[in-house]
Amino acid sequence: MNIVADDQISTEPYTGPSGGWGSMKSVARINLREKVNPETVRELARQNKPEGVMCVSCAWGKPAHPHIAEFCENGAKATAWELTSYRTTPAFFTEHSVTELRGWKDFDLEQAGRLTHPMRYDAASDRYVAVSWEEAFADIGAHLKGYDPAKVVFYASGRASLETSYMWALMARMYGSQNLPDSSNMCHETTSVGLKSAIGSPVGTIHLSDYDSCDMILYFGQNPGVNSPRALHPLRACAKRGVEIIVFNPLKERGLERFTDPQNPIEMVTGKSTPIASQYHQVKTGGDIAAMLGICKYVIEADDQCQRIGAPAILDHAFIAEHTKGFEAFADMVRATDWATIEHESGLSRGELEGVGAIYAKSKRVICVYGMGLTQHVHGIDNLHTLVNLMLLRGNVGKPGAGFGPVRGHSNVQGQRTVGITEKPELAPLDRLKALYDFEPPRDKGWDTVEACEHIIDGSAQAFIGLGGNLARAVPATAEIEPAWQQLDLTVSIATKLNRTHLLPGKTCYLLPCLGRIETDEQATGPQAVTMEDSFSRIYGSRGKATPAADTLLSEPAIVAGIAKATLAPNPKVDWDAWVGDYALVRDAIEATYPDKFTRFNERMWVPGGFWKGVEAAHRQWLTESGRAEFNVPSTLNATGFAEAPGRFRLMTLRSNDQFNTTVYGYHDRFRGIKGTRDIVFMNRADMATMGLAEHDLVDLVGDAGSNGDRRVGKLLVVPYDIPQGCLGAYYPECNVLMPVTHKAEQSHVPAGKSVPVRVERSA
């Protein structure tokens, strides 16, 4: 069991708000534990401000007029994590074999601190040993030259800057590989595919300022209190203005219920909090298509009625006629769907959904915000298409105060796609790259994340090169991935801290430590700045000023250039050394490749609030096949992709308040009342009664899809919870072992981590 030495396990409901003193305490705790570099306070004060450093945690927007302290609890934790005083040195690796380290928990591995030296795995001693950078690059290059480029994976986790990402994608393509998956493939790829096919733009359409003028927010499957806490400020302002904030989430997430603003002295001193959601609907996991259809049904049938009696219309018929395609087919499907089916599939009552419909019918400017609760389902695309349908009914896109607000994950995950990290050749400007750099880019489709895993499992991938992340831990089917990973011929990880993926060495294996974004990046022409793109398609500069964790570290651009020079034939059009010496030259190259989006890039990167790269759907310009925004008829009302069956549950894999993806900061999930452990499963009391289970009984979760019976997570503590019947919640990445790689969203291939079919067995 995962117990922090000084902590008792407890699972009492949490009664406080999000934010407030609880948040301060949580940050103080991690700062103390990490014995953070004293520069942390200064770096936090600069965080997310014009001319400052952009937070390494999430991709939430950076306002042009920031608060005095424009950081949140989890941003502060991410900062402490990077500026820790602990170090994972060559001496650490002499002391601990890789086999021994594989027995450590995710938390303990990263707690060992920042990596300091380039390391090579030595199979004879089963240890990582220090090497020089020159040796590492030369050997990696020599190996890469011997492979079929189409069998080499270049994975990127969404943190690296636009400059690094551009160089990364260019290196992979000059080498001949289109295998450029990134963490987006496990995350908002459903957005990229679903919004693109329906409205022609693959990203959100709103600006941060749209929160100032909306009169309704529909909030589906995103947990701002944990994953984007700065989003609570505009939400709180909306709540105070009387905006209807209507949440759909199987769990009552505290950040969506009430928030004490740590920036507000009165709230802090009086302990007052602001209620956020005006309505909270605990939809069944995978029941959102049905819920949205219910709202649509109310609105469409009310409009039918208005037409009959000659009352003013509810639908925006002018918008539908001028801008959309496919309305009639969708409306017919909605009229034909009965309420009993909608109620059963959503787990919500007709009265509840009609109530939402009535508010929607009156609201003039509606924003919809969503996250993994919609994207990580087998029918995630149907989730998005139904959401688009709902928004199109009243023209809620392309006008102030209305539109789509997907909340992206990693701080530059959207930007990585913008500058060419993609396995889809049609999304990269290949002809332009060819003209600029005089080489023949690969034209075939490359592997996405799940395809890369399938090729690693079946032995047809030769090498894995990772720019950040912890892929072997973040993907499904971890028990199959782990042995297969070690059969790769070459594994290379560019990283800041040690994680489980690094402990699965291929036949040749390197671990290359890099600077973090918060640190000073000194190059030939002086200290460098980098850029990234947020969830609102805004692009900013960021300059780290903290002392680097070690003077042996290289920057990410320098490491990419080192691998590129050792692998590729010299090309007079690409001067890798000059780029590393001055990142402004990389930005010039980005501008030359994408002249429309990155006009005067170097000049505009410091505009307060960032510059907008432009999103066509936000101007009602629809880059779809039909040239119109498209209604789509959903293929099913159940997003899970599997049928109900006796004893089968829908498991949501969740993030705690003490983690960033596979990085575990601690064992508290404050808002959900969990202390001292991650080995729990949230369960409805009625389901517990049916199974004869009592609070804190131990159970195993067993995979229940196809040949999935041998997938098991053992000895989880049962925690009675306010969660719809038939649904369970437990933590990611521990539960990834329960998911087969085939359990993924249709079309986007995002692993369907929000509805995994499982059975519950009492632990032996």
Residue ranges binding ligand MGD (CB under 6 A): 57-58, 74, 110, 157, 159, 183, 186-187, 220-223, 226-228, 248-251, 253, 283, 285-286, 288, 371-373, 376, 407, 409-410, 467-471, 474, 494-497, 499, 514, 516-517, 556, 652-655, 659-663, 732-733, 736, 751, 753-754
Nearest alpha-carbon partner for 433 in 574, 628, 615: 574
Look at residue 653 and give the partner it binds from Mo ion, ligand MGD, none, a contact being a CB closer than 5 to 8 Å depending on partner kind: ligand MGD
Q: Which residues, in sequence order, are bridge partners of residue 115?
A: 88
- Find where tokens 């001193």 sit: 269
Task: For helices 20-33 and 73-82, give the axis angle rounded to 10 degrees.
Answer: 0
CB atoms under 10 Å from CB of 3, counted, come to 12
Q: What is the full DSSP assignment across 424-458?
A: -GGGS-HHHHHHHH------S----HHHHHHHHHT
414 or 567, CB closer to ligand MGD? 414
Minimum gap (Å) between residue 624 Cβ and ligand MGD: 25
Instruction: For ligand MGD, give the closer residue by CB, 177 or 662.
Output: 662
Give bridge partners of residue 700 from the DSSP assignment: 761
What are the backbone dihedrals phi and psi of residue 160, each rounded to the nearest 5 degrees, phi first?
-60, 150
Question: Which of these ranges, 186-194, 255-263, 537-545, 700-708, lies near Mo ion under the rule CB under 5 A?
Answer: 186-194
Phi-psi region of 156 (alpha: psi -120 to 50; beta: other; left: phi over 0): beta
Written as six digits, the tokens of 342 are 């909608």
State the binding partner of 580 from Mo ion, ligand MGD, none, CB within 5 to 8 A by kind.
none
Smaller CB separation from ligand MGD, 357 or 373: 373
**From ligand MGD, Mo ion, none, which one binds at residue 549 (CB under 5 to 8 Å depending on kind)?**
none
Residue 652: CB minimum distance to Mo ion, A: 15
Q: Is 629 exposed, middle or buried (0-12, 13-18, 19+ CB in 10 A)?
A: buried
Question: Minimum CB separation from ligand MGD for residue 584, in Å?
Answer: 21
Nearest residue to Mo ion, scored by beta-carbon proximity: 409
Shortest distance in whole angstroms from residue 319 CB to ligand MGD: 26
What is the contact mask toward Mo ion in residues 392 to 411, using x (rule: CB under 5 A)?
Answer: -----------------x--
Interatomic CA distance for residues 384 and 190, integer angstroms: 8
| Chosen residue from 170, 187, 243, 639 binding Mo ion by CB under 5 A | 187
Asked whether 754 and 377 are in contact (CB, 8 A), the reply is yes
Least distance CB 253 / ligand MGD (angstroms): 5
Task: Indicate the residue among 114 and 323 with the shorter CB distance to ligand MGD.
Answer: 114
- To Mo ion, the closest distance from the beta carbon of 750 in angstroms equals 9
- Look up residue 238 and give its two tokens: 């909306």
Phi and psi, residue 180, nearest 5°: -120, 60
Q: How far is the CB of 718 from ligand MGD (least distance, A)?
A: 18
- Which entry of Mo ion, ligand MGD, none binds 371, CB below 5 to 8 A by partner kind? ligand MGD
Residue of closest CB approach to ligand MGD? 371
If the CB atoms of residues 327 and 731 are measured against ligand MGD, the closer one turns out to be: 731
Among Mo ion, ligand MGD, none, residue 753 binds (CB under 5-8 Å by kind):
ligand MGD
**CA separation for the pair 51, 544 (Å, rounded):** 10
Quick one: 23 or 662, whose CB is closer to ligand MGD?
662
The DSSP secondary structure of 529-555, one letter per residue, reads: -EEEE-TTSEEEEE---BPPS-TT-B-
Quick check: 172 and 178 in contact, CB under 8 A? yes
How far apart (Å, rounded) are the C-alpha atoms in residues 652 and 753? 6
Number of residues that bind Mo ion (CB under 5 A): 2
What are the residues binding Mo ion (CB under 5 A)?
187, 409
